[in-house]
Amino acid sequence: MLHQMFRVRWTAWKQLDTNDQKTILQEAADAIEKMEQNASGQSAIFSLLGHKGDLLFVHFRNSFEKLNSVELVLSRLRLFDYLEQTTSYLSVVELGLYESTVKTYESLIERGIEPNSPEWSAEIEEVLNRQREAMHSRLFPEMPPQKYASFYPMDRKRGEAINWYTLPLQERQRQMHEHGLVGRRYAGTVKQIISGSIGFDDWEWGVTLFADDPLVFKKLIYEMRFDEVSAVYAAFGSFYVGVRVPARDLATVLGGKAIKD
């Protein structure tokens, strides 16, 4: 997953004559529409609120090479001479596997297999492979259709007294389970995609929420902030909120109008 945030260079853009704007927008809309419909990983655009950017691009692809290709293709579009990248986020979609991991570990230990032995690793790998297959559509999701998106990166704290990484697995599993119960109450109204970025970007996880009513972002995150795992162990980065802009409507936004229902 790659999130890209861009600011529009309005002054330069507005100086173009209408025909140039049309040609440039047509070229961009054609290229991005293909990305929206790409079978092996889709893209979507959102019109951001506030100064952190004017446009958010969200890209799903099945390799870093493909994400790198997306970046390079976009940078070649004439439209990108009128966009300035303000930030970005690189991550990989993740499944929350605490419960199955705890079960797997317990069963291996019961069977007397020594942790981190070759046998242990082989068994774990096999379980993970089965899960990856079973949950392929969650690991390689389609772009959710909702109108609003909220994105933020986060860490689990490693403080002097409060340290997620020194908690026993079972305790982490218990807190994540409780946390999941809140999320489940919002299942119908918010689509949540968790992606991991340890080793890839400056926070440990990225959270991308999709909803048709943006107020539910606030309700969900506020309610979760009282969960033990969030209240005590979560550190949050910047928040980005945007309204979806289908590629074919880029001209509307760059013409100064918001996307209506």
Length of the chain: 261
User: How many DSSP H helices and E strands does the chain contain?
Assistant: 10, 10
Minimum distance from CB of 102 to a copy of itself (Å)? 15
In the complex with a copy of itself, which residue's Cβ is closer, 141 or 239? 239
Minimum distance from CB of 149 to a copy of itself (Å)? 11
User: Which residue has tokens 């966009």?
Assistant: 83
Asked whether 154 and 237 are in contact (CB, 8 A), the reply is: yes
| Rounded Cα–Cα distance for residues 189 and 210 (Å) | 9
| Rounded Cα–Cα distance for residues 249 and 38 (Å) | 18
Nearest-CA neighbor of 238 among 198, 213, 201, 212? 201
Minimum distance from CB of 185 to a copy of itself (Å)? 7
Q: How many other CB atoms sit within 10 Å of the CB of residue 209?
A: 22
Which of 152, 186, 233, 240 is flagged as catalytic? 152
Q: How many other CB atoms sit within 10 Å of the CB of residue 103?
A: 13
Minimum distance from CB of 226 to a copy of itself (Å)? 5
In the complex with a copy of itself, which residue's Cβ is closer, 33 or 77? 77
Please provide the distance, in angstroms rounded to a whole number, between the alpha carbons at the two ends of the chain: 27
In the complex with a copy of itself, which residue's Cβ is closer, 243 or 247? 243
In the complex with a copy of itself, which residue's Cβ is closer, 38 or 88? 88
Asked whether 196 and 141 are in contact (CB, 8 A), the reply is: no
Phi, psi torsion values for 124, nearest 5 degrees: -60, -45
At residue 49, what is the residue type? L
Minimum distance from CB of 107 to a copy of itself (Å)? 20
> Does the annotation mark 152 as catalytic?
yes
In the complex with a copy of itself, which residue's Cβ is closer, 18 or 116? 116
Phi, psi torsion values for 98, nearest 5 degrees: -55, -45
Active site residues: 152
